[in-house]
Amino acid sequence: MVNVIGTAVAGHFAYQRVPSEPNRAAQRSAFWITGFAGGLTTFSSLSFFVAELAPFEAVFFAGLNLFLSMAILFAIHRSMNLNENGESS
């Protein structure tokens, strides 16, 4: 049910257009699609898997998920900073 709600929120904001304020609409859409809907669906999936695992496996899986997510975000952030400075990535 959570994934359906997250998809509905993402779909609503993906198709919402405000022609007079394109930058503001894009920022708002990015927040609701990637921030709210993405976080909601990702956290619900993680919670589901962790609830089904044994305690040690749950802690390991949650920690691995957190580590990989942060590593990917760091790599993306670093790549964006390199591209903004005119350096090749």
pLDDT at position 89 is 45
Rounded to 10 degrees, the C-alpha dihedral 67/50/44/65 comes to 10
Q: Are 27 and 55 in contact (CB under 8 A)?
A: no
Rounded to the nearest integer, the mean pLDDT of the chain is 78
pLDDT at position 29 is 76
Does the structure show a pLDDT above 70 at 64? yes
4 alpha carbon, distance to own chain's centre: 16
The pTM assigned to this predicted structure is: 0.50
What are the boundaries of each domain within the chain?
Answer: 1-52, 54-89
